[in-house]
Amino acid sequence: MRPIAPVLLIAMAMPAVAASEPNHCEIAVTGETTVRIAAEAPRDGTHGKLAASTDYWLSDGQLRMALETMQSLGGKLSPTEKQRKVDEGMKKDPRFMVLLINCLSDEGGVIFSPTNGSKYAHVPMKAGSYAIVPSGRTRPGEFTAMFHLATRGKRESYSVAEPGKLVVTRFDRKGITGTFSFKAEQRGKAGKKVDVNGSFSYACTGEACQK
C-alpha cells in the first residue's frame, strides 16, 4: 500500500460526482480520552480527507496516470524506462491500491488500508468484514489503522492495541459505506488507552463509477 500523497494526486484528476448527501464520517472515542468527531464534505472527489480510493473505481487511463506519477516522484527515468515500468504495473495485482479509506478532520482521524500482500481477491468490491490488526505480524486481507487525535494543537498518535473490525456494508461503483471499531493505545510515555468506534459513507469517485 502506497502513502497518501499519490491518492490526493488521483483525486485531483477525478471528475465531479453529483449526489444529494455529502461524504460523511463519524468517530467516537471513549476511555481515557473522550472525543466525538463528525465531518462532512461535498461528494466531488476533491476532498481526500473524507473519501475512499480504490483501483475498482478508476479507468485504465487513470490507473496509468497514477503509475506514471509514482514513477516521476524522486527519479529521473528515461521516457522508455518509465513506460516499461508503467506497463509492468498495469499487469500487477493490485495495479495501484486495493482500497484506502480516509476519515480525517482538524480534531483527528483515521486511515484504513489493507496489509502488505493484500490482493483484489482479499478485498473484493462487495460487502465484507475485515480484521483491524496491530502492526507487526499480519496476513493479507487484514487492515491496518493509522489513528490520531489533535489535542490543543498537538498531534497524539495511537497504535491499534488489539484486533478490531472493519465492516463494509456496501462497496460498489456507486460508493462505499461501513463501520469500524478497535482499541488503541497512545504512543509515547502517556500511553492513554481508548476505544474507537465510527462509521463512514462515501461516494464513488472515478471514471469507472456508475451514477
Q: What is the C-alpha to C-alpha distance for residues 85 and 92, in angstroms, rounded to an integer?
A: 11
Q: Where does the pLDDT of residue 197 fall: very low under 50, low under 70, confident under 90, or very high at 90 and above?
A: very high
Tens digit of each residue's pLDDT (9 = 90 or more) over 43-84: 875 568 999 999 999 999 999 999 988 888 766 778 888 899
Tens digit of each residue's pLDDT (9 = 90 or more) over 117-154: 999 999 999 999 999 999 888 999 999 999 999 988 78
Q: Name the average pLDDT for the chain.
A: 88
Tens digit of each residue's pLDDT (9 = 90 or more) over 16-31: 344 468 999 999 999 9
Q: What is the C-alpha to C-alpha distance for residues 43 and 175, in angstroms, rounded to an integer?
A: 10
Q: Which of 34-38, 75-79, 119-123, 192-196 has the lowest mean pLDDT?
A: 75-79
pLDDT of residue 12: 37
pLDDT of residue 189: 76
Mean of pLDDT values over 3-14: 41
Going by their DSSP bridges, the two strands 100-105 and 108-114 should be labelled as antiparallel
Q: 189 φ, ψ to 5°?
A: -70, -35
